[in-house]
Each structure stands twice: as structure tokens, then as C-alpha cells.
Structure 1
Amino acid sequence: MTDSSPTPSSPDGPDGPDLVEAPSRRRWPLVLGALVALAVIAGVVVATTGGEDDATAGETVRIGVVGASDPYWATYEQAAEDEGIDVEIVDFADYNQPNPAVAEGELDLNQFQHLVFLADYNIASGDDLQPIGATAIYPLGLHSKQYESVEEIPDGATVAVPNDASNQARALVLLQSAGLVELKSGGSIFSDLADIDTEASRVQVEALDAALTATSLDDLAGAVVNNDFVERAGLDFDDALAQDDPDDTKALPYANVFAAQADDLDDPTYQRLVEIYQETQAVQEGVVEVSGGTAVMLDTPVEDLRAILAEVESDTRDQQG
């Protein structure tokens, strides 16, 4: 930083030193003026740095989401702004993008995924993103444009599930509970297409990108559709032929979370942003409304979330041998 303070004047005049200097009444005002100037400069430095305890003061916090057009995000941004926090919601259409963006520092936080998805990402990538707060659990639903009940789906028909590992396992367990497939393992967070007992199952199962399961329904008997894509595809939550139970304690690994880099877990601004999400009634009501009344809102202690993540990661590593 360039020092813009005035250079102290030399006591020597242009013609050499003054041997006798008359007392001046202006000396104290000049000293006071200098002190005031220094105080102003110090104040500017403090204001612009924001202190050492809050590294994000005065900066924009970028949060990656899937579905930024949902009205509650604008409500959330305003609630954060009311507390002096500038938030930018960054939209993604692909679930595979927000985590690398946080890991690489392009985003500060993201909020789009459950703990099982986060565990799979961390293990596959070698990163260590961590939850800093819970948002909600959303049920996973089986939808159809051709049939009005599970029983109507004919034997041998094709049903789609998401192709990412965590949602695929959850979808297969749902299909098993609906009586459409049988899983050799009995069903777990590690089930995949190879776990299907084809001889004992009523339907064939095809894996598609999560964003495409709903839009492919014209060509399928049914599809398990992630909550984010239900309304976008013109579907109604109430029309789901079957769905899992988000109130079940076994569903906690599917709790959606805000995620951050491990080094940022104690950032007070990020923690406050989680609290704003959990404490702002209009945001909470907006989430439930967008989910068609299906979302179960959470304020699970962050220590519990991290413990669940660690357990899922450990089980996944054991599963992979």
C-alpha cells in the first residue's frame, strides 16, 4: 500500500535554519488534525478488511444449487441481504458440477445433495467436502404417464431410475418396496442394476441421467424422478404411484445439506447462512411449497450430519474392498 500521509516538513527554511522561532498558536490544531487523519485512515483500513474473524466480510458468497428459479431462493437472498450478507445463487442443471466447483473454489457453498451423494463424491474424487447444515429430506417418487397404479404396470415393462450411484440405490429400494423388483442383497445404499434379480422381478430397469428420467416418461412405463425435476416435467407430486418415507429414521443419510470445503466449516458467515435458511419462515414455507408439500424440513445438528457422512464413507470403502 502506498503511504499517502504528508511528508513531515523540515524545520529548515529555504535560507537555512531559523535560530529563533516565535511561539505559534497553530501547533496544537495541526497535531490534532494529524491525529484525526490517522484515525480516519485506521477506520478505513478496519472497514475494508472487516477484521480477522470474518474472512468473507464485504464479499459475495456464491452458492451452487440445482433449481435456482425456485422462488424461495430469491427470498433467501433477500433475508441474507437484510443481515448484510451478499449472496449469489448459481444455477446448475447437472448434479455432477456443483461439488467440483466448491472443491476448486469457484463456489463457496452448494446446496443440492444428500449425504449419500456427497459421500460417493468424496470417495470418487478424493476431496473432503463436508456438511455445514441440514435443509430437508425429499421423498423419491415413482411416476408414470401411462398408468395410475403400480399394479397396472405390466410385467416386462421398462422403468427408469437415476444413473448416479446414490440415487440409483435409493430408487431400486423404492421399486422393491413397490413390488416391481427383487434385489439380491435385500436392498441397501449400495444397490445397483447388478443387484436386481431379473428372474424374480416384474419389470426391466434402465438407468438414465437424473435430469432425463422424467422427460423420458413418454417412452417408459414409469420412472423414479428426483424431487428437483418433478414440476419441471409437468408432473404432480400427488400423482406419484409410490414413494419412500422421508420421516423414517433410516432416511437420514438422504438428508440434503449445505456443503463446504473442510477448511471453511467454522466460517461464521457460512454458519449464519445456514441459520437464515433454517430460521426464515418464508424460506421454509417456500421449500415445502415447491416440493408439493412433500419436503420434511430439518435442523439436524451438524455433528450428526458429519457422523452419518463418515459412516457412509466408511461403509462405501468397505463395500469397494
Structure 2
Amino acid sequence: MKKVALTLLCALIAMFAGGCGKTEEQTGLTIGIRGSESRTWDFVKEQAEKEGLQIELVPFNANVNPNTVLLDGEIDANAFQHVAFLDQFNSKNNSQIVPVGSTIIAPLGIYSDTFRKIEEIPDGAKIAVPNDDSNWGRALLLLQEAGLIQVVDNFDGFGGADKIKANPKHLEIIPVDGATTPRVMKDVAASIINNGVAVEAGFLLKDAVFHESKTAKPYINVIATTKEKANREDVKRLVAIYQSKAVSDFITETYKGNYIPTQGTIEELADFKQAFKSKP
């Protein structure tokens, strides 16, 4: 009798509340984010509500990897990482988290308390870089783009002292925790700071001595979810809302050029590793 009563109760709930438990036709999404983009996501949430899509935002600090939380099933999707970082995470964890839509490029910059031009950085100077493999590698590519070093021919996008082929100015590359890169500026000639960290520290991209170009494909940020959820209609609606003109204009006006909105397809990002090739 209890089983029959429970079934009837669930049926009544389904009639008046849209179902007993989660179904394929979702009306709400839980999204893991980092604080540097909270203003954007608050705006996205407002836009989504206008279209009947409910979003719950779950902010994480630098000590928590939203990919791990996603795999644990505690959130439906996340938006905090670029393509190269996601690829590395999947490789290390044998996971199948997939990008479902591009969001922004947050150009990596070289910042200095002492020097205003890249040419002013002297021989033997100390350069701080983020110490996680992905962003360390990204920093090396930025130093190469600035003409300061050359990465190895078989560069895979990951950092390490052994990834430098040529260092004519004998720069001392010092890996530090990414969150501390603004604070160590007083101790080094220059510090390479992730854009989100730079924004939180009060820097604008125009304050950088040198920064990535906006076509840095491996470092385009994405909305990501598990392979099983990638084709859900509510996830597709979320991507469409983020990539709308209203959100794009909000990002441009709010972040004053620090974040550049992108509407590229996932297929266009598939060959991102081509950017890792060493340049003479």
C-alpha cells in the first residue's frame, strides 16, 4: 500500500510541479563559476530568467576545482577554464568533460612595477609565472610571443624549465602560485598574471607591458559539462543566452577590454594544439 501511495503522490506532484525528480526537460541549471566573472553571470542569470530558464550560480575559490565538483554531480556545468586547461584535466583524470560553448578570451599579461616596455626588461631578470602546468605553459608561449624566449619544437602547451629551447637574455623563470602573481611583483622584474587574477587585483589589460593577442585559441574560455549532459536542451539554451548580443555588450562595457566575448563554435576550437608549435 505504501508503494502505491508513493506512486500516486509522485503522479500528483508531476501534474502540478512538472515531475517527480529531474527529467530530460530541465527548467534549471546549477553552474559553477569563479568570482572574477560573477558580474557577467549575474547578468546571464537575469537574461535566462526572462526566457524561462532558472540558473543557480555556485561560486568557487581558487582552492576548489569546479571540474571535480562537476564530476561528482553536484553541479550541471561550469564556466571558469580555457580549452587547454580542460584538455589537461581530462588527460590527467581520464574524464570526459566537454566544452559546449565559448565565452570569453581573458588575455594573459606581463605586468611590472618597474618597466613599461618589454624591451626594457634586462638580461638575467626574474620573471614570475603561474605554477600550474597549463598556465605555466601559456606563460612560456606569451614570453615567446614577446620575443624573450623560444619554446621547444615539440612543445605540448605545458610548463616546465625543460620546455625552453632558447633564452638569450638568460631570464630566471620563477613559478609561483597563480593567485600570488600580483603580490610578488615587488620582488621580480615582471610577473605574468592571469586575467581574472589581474582584474581582482585592480589591473586593466592596458596596464600590461605586453599581453596575448585576442586570437589565442587554446585559451578561449568555455562553458563545460559532462558528455552525458552536453546535448540537453537547457544546456544549449544557456550557451545561446551567453553568446547573445546583450551579454556580449555587457561584457565589453563592464570589463573595459579585459575580457573579450567570443562566439566561436566548439568545432573551431578542436585544433587548438596547432598554436603550440614553436616559432623561430
Shared topology, TM-score over 0.5?
Answer: yes
**Contact map agreement 2:106 2:196 (CA 8 A) in 1:** no
Residue 296 of structure 1 and its aligned partner are, at CA, apart by 3.2
Task: Give the Cα separation in 2 of the matches to 1:163 and 1:87.
Answer: 33
Task: Give the Cα separation in 1 of the matches to 2:63 and 2:169.
Answer: 29
> What is the match of residue 142 of structure 1?
110
> What is the match of residue 133 of structure 1?
101
> What is the match of residue 238 of structure 2?
273
Which of 216, 224, 242 aligns to 2:210? It is 242
Which of 208, 212, 215 aligns to 2:176? It is 208
Map residues 151-300 of structure 1 onto 2, 5 A cutoff: 151-185=119-153, 189-197=157-165, 200-247=168-215, 251-281=216-246, 283-300=247-264
**Contact map agreement 1:172 1:187 (CA 8 A) in 2:** no
**Contact map agreement 2:13 2:20 (CA 8 A) in 1:** no
The 3-state SS of whatever aligns with 1:216 is helix
Q: Does 1:120 align with 2:84?
A: no
Task: Give the Cα separation in 2 of the matches to 1:49 and 1:70.
Answer: 30
**RCO (CA 8 Å, sep 6+): is it higher in 1 or 2?**
2
> What is the match of residue 89 of structure 1?
57
User: Structure 1 residues 44, 105: closer, same or farther in 2, change over 3 A?
Assistant: closer
Gaps (5+ residues) in structure 2? none
Task: Give the Cα separation in 1 of the matches to 2:167 and 2:263.
Answer: 43
> What is the match of residue 77 of structure 1?
45
The 3-state SS of whatever aligns with 1:256 is strand
Gaps (5+ residues) in structure 1? 5-37, 316-321
**Contact map agreement 2:124 2:171 (CA 8 A) in 1:** yes
User: Structure 1 residues 232, 207: closer, same or farther in 2, change over 3 A?
Assistant: same
Task: Give the Cα separation in 2 of the matches to 1:162 and 1:56.
Answer: 41
Residue 258 of structure 1 and its aligned partner are, at CA, apart by 0.4
Task: Give the Cα separation in 2 of the matches to 1:52 and 1:172.
Answer: 48
Q: Which has the larger radius of gyration?
A: 1
Larger mean CA deviation between 95-104 and 256-265 belongs to 95-104
Residue 67 of structure 1 and its aligned partner are, at CA, apart by 1.8
Q: Which has the higher strand share?
A: 2
What whole-Å deviation, never above 9, does each CA across 1:260-289 have from its counterpart, x for those lacking one?
Answer: 0110011111110111111151x2223234
TM-score under structure 2 normalisation?
0.84
**Contact map agreement 1:159 1:220 (CA 8 A) in 2:** yes
TM-score under structure 1 normalisation?
0.75
Residue 170 of structure 1 and its aligned partner are, at CA, apart by 1.6
Alignment RMSD (CA, Å): 3.0
**Contact map agreement 1:137 1:298 (CA 8 A) in 2:** yes
User: Structure 1 residues 236, 55: closer, same or farther in 2, change over 3 A?
Assistant: same
The 3-state SS of whatever aligns with 2:179 is coil
> What is the match of residue 101 of structure 1?
69
